Amino acid sequence: MTTTEPRIMPMGMAINEAMDVAMGLDEKVFLLGEDIAEPSGGVYKITKGLSTKYGTDRVRKTPISEAAIIGAAVGAAIAGYKPVAEIMIMDFIGVCLDQITNHAAKIRYMSGGQTTVPMVIRTSAGAGRGFGAQHSELLEAFAVHSPGMKVAIPSNPADAKGLLISSIFDADPVLFVEPMLMYWDPTYAGEVPAGDYRVPLGKANTVVEGKDVSLISYGRQVHTCKKAAEELAAEGISAEVIDLRSIVPYDEAAVMASVTKTKRAVVVHEAVTRCGFGAELSSRIHEELFGTLAAPVQRVGGKNIPIPYASNLEKAFLPQVADVVAAVKRTNK
């Protein structure tokens, strides 16, 4: 009998491994983006080593041209490739939004299914590093509002690997949002299965089981919810934490089952609250479970402001554990 050491790694390494596995499995998988090849291997080192292993044809450094990057990925995907395009920081999506919403998202429909766009847009996002208003934002709602796009946002290294491999081999375009703060922070490291490990899109994970309130989240804010659940437990409130893992498609059945059980829900994400995915989710819960709910669904998200630079203001922008706890209490009035 052989035993193996548990494979504990940070999310950045898990994402690298996902691309390595996918490229090894299928020669149609290739990467393109700014600075992604050696010697830098990306500004966050997420593609480190891959251009050495697979060559610069398949790990392509691009000009700083986001529209050209996404456009090239769209064309290559239609032609049978599985491109993984990196947009260094999510705020830069604004530069290439036309290629995402008008082209990647709509081409399957506009062509009546004759052409498809199996590509991934990887992008890093999140406040908390003092990068200011244009290098910190979560903009997943843009893509959620574009039928044709899928959106995944992992909360831990294993999911990051499993969701990314699934996304690369998905038949449709996926916006894959990587929480920047979790890349190399050892406190977020976790065990990651080896090899071709996949987590399907649209399948939520119940991170903490509970019976009094459902905390529904995705990405780094799942951890805020976990901490809130611990504080609430000390007060005798049993909170269930649901990690959606992908928001298009999202696991509506899991959400409704949880809220049917708890009768209370708080939706938590880092993107600004106004018109965020939480608004959609809250609305859906009300539509389906109005008579069951003991209280209105509460939303906790980023404040409706550009992200400030000064660390005290930046922190105030972000959802805090105390915000989640307070929202839960509003459902218990």
Partner 1 sequence: MATTNRPDAPDRDALLRMFEIQQKIKTADERFRAMLTSGQVQLIYYSPRGQECISAGYAVHLRPDDYVVTIYRGLHDHIAKGVPMRELWAEFLGRGTGTCKGKGGPMHVTHPKSGLMVTTGIVGAGIPIANGFGLASKLSGTDQVTVVNFGDGASNIGAFHEGLNMAAVWKLPVIFVCQNNLYGEHTPMAMSTGVEYISERAASYGMPGVTVNGNDPVAMWKVAGEAIERARAGEGPTLIEARTYRFWGHLMGDAMEYMPKEERKAAMAADPLPAFRAWLLDNGHANEAQLAEIEDQIKALVDDAVDFAMNSPEPSMDELYTDVYEEIIK
Q: How far is the CB of 28 from partner 1 (least distance, A)?
A: 9
Contact letters for partner 1, residues 235-254 (x by CB under 8 A): -------------xx-----
Q: Cα–Cα distance between 276 and 139 in angstroms, integer?
A: 9
Q: Which of 66, 240, 270, 314 is catalytic?
A: 66
Residue 78 binds partner 1, judged by CB under 8 A: yes
Q: Is 135 a catalytic residue?
A: yes
Alpha carbon 178 to its chain's center: 6
Residue 203 three-state SS: coil
Rounded to a whole number of angstroms, the distance between the first and last alpha carbons of the chain is 56
**Nearer to partner 1 among residue 39 and residue 113 (C-beta):** 113
Q: Which of these, 57, 31, 25, 64, lies nearest to 46 by C-alpha position?
A: 31
Q: How far is the CB of 270 from partner 1 (least distance, A)?
A: 24
# residues contacting partner 1 (CB under 8 A): 45
Q: How far is the CB of 170 from partner 1 (least distance, A)?
A: 8
**DSSP secondary structure of 33-70:** ETT-STTTTSTTSTTTTHHHHH-TTTEEE--S-HHHHH
Residue 171 binds partner 1, judged by CB under 8 A: yes
- Using a 10 angstrom Cβ sphere, with 0-12 exposed, 13-18 middle and 19 or more buried, the burial of residue 79 is exposed
Residue 71 binds partner 1, judged by CB under 8 A: yes
Q: Which of 103, 135, 223, 269 is catalytic?
A: 135
Handedness of CA 190, 191, 192, 194 (dihedral sign): positive
Q: Cα–Cα distance between 192 and 57 in angstroms, integer?
A: 28
Q: How far is the CB of 305 from partner 1 (least distance, A)?
A: 28
Q: Of these, 24, 94, 102, 332, which contacts partner 1 (CB under 8 A)?
A: 102
Residues that bind partner 1 (CB under 8 A): 30, 57-58, 60, 62-63, 65-68, 70-81, 83, 98-99, 102-103, 107-116, 147-148, 150, 170-172, 248-249
